[in-house]
């Protein structure tokens, strides 16, 4: 009987020690989670990195709210929606269409279609704000897109016409670049020698537009 009591007491003592050790380990672990000494990798598992959340636009040519991510496989459907939705303003639709056109993940023919509609919906007054930055950065990089941009430039007023053609002198190749130079030369009444560099034509266009603004004052 005495041995049984001693054995029971020993079991209770072991259990008490185990519980105490468990509480100590848990307490230390919780304290470690609040400590600044926690390893960066461990802390990342516990606290999400809010810096990874993008709250601003990635394109200077489009304000916040217009650069939503489009599934490349649904781009054609999105084009149709934008063109059919009467509640969407022309400016909004143009920006969205040009965003699709600038997306290299989208099929080439769909991009070309989006660019065509985007240019059609963009007025001469809005061209610099809506289109020009992407043209200068060569986001519409294919020869077919360059052709479309140059054809569109012919029908625009001088400021949009010249800045678009100048961007194509910078980015286009071969006959398209030569044609863009000829357009610049015709409007500004300068020699169209192809030996003239992009920097030279930029200076010519800048001076021409500056003089035009001065004449209007």
pLDDT for the residue numbered 196: 82
Percent of the chain past pLDDT 70, that is, above it, reads 65
Three-state secondary structure string covering the chain: CHHHHHHHHHHHHHHHHHHHHHHHHHHHHHHHHCCCCCCHHHHHHHCCCHHHCCCCCCCCCCCCCCCCCCCHHHHHHHHHHHHHCCCCCHHHHHHHHHHHHCCCCCCHHHHHHHHHHHHHCCCCCCHHHHHHHHHHCCCCCCHHHHHHHHHHHHCCCHHHHHHHHHHHHHHCCHHHHHHHHHHHHHHHCCCCCCCCCHHHHHHHHHHHHHHHHHHHC
Evaluate if residue 136 carries a pLDDT over 90: yes
Give residue 21's pLDDT band: very low, low, confident or very high (50, 70, 90): low
Per the model's pLDDT, the better-predicted residue between 139 and 12 turns out to be 139
Tell me the average pLDDT across 8-25: 48
Evaluate if residue 140 carries a pLDDT over 60: yes
Give residue 202's pLDDT band: very low, low, confident or very high (50, 70, 90): very high
Q: What average pLDDT does the structure give for the chain?
A: 77
Give residue 172's pLDDT band: very low, low, confident or very high (50, 70, 90): very high
- pTM, two decimals, is 0.67
Evaluate if residue 165 carries a pLDDT over 50: yes
């Amino acid at each position: 009987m005495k041995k049984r009591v001693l054995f029971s007491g020993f079991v209770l003592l072991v259990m008490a020690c185990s519980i105490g050790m468990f509480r100590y380990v848990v307490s230390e672990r919780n304290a470690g989670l609040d400590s600044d000494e926690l390893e960066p990798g461990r802390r990342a598992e516990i606290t999400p990195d809010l810096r990874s959340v993008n709250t601003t636009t990635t394109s200077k040519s489009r304000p916040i709210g217009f650069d939503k991510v489009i599934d490349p496989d649904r781009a054609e459907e999105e084009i149709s929606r934008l063109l059919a939705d009467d509640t969407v303003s022309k400016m909004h639709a143009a920006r969205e269409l040009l965003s699709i056109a600038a997306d290299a993940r989208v099929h080439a023919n769909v991009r070309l279609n989006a660019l065509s509609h985007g240019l059609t919906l963009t007025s001469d007054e809005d061209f610099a704000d809506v289109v020009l930055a992407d043209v200068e950065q060569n986001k519409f990089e294919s020869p077919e897109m360059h052709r479309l941009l140059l054809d569109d430039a012919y029908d625009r007023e001088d400021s949009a016409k010249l800045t678009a053609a100048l961007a194509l002198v910078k980015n286009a190749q071969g006959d398209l670049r030569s044609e863009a130079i000829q357009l610049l030369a015709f409007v500004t009444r300068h020699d169209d020698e192809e030996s003239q560099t992009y920097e030279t034509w930029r200076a010519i266009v800048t001076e021409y537009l500056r003089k035009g603004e001065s004449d209007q004052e």
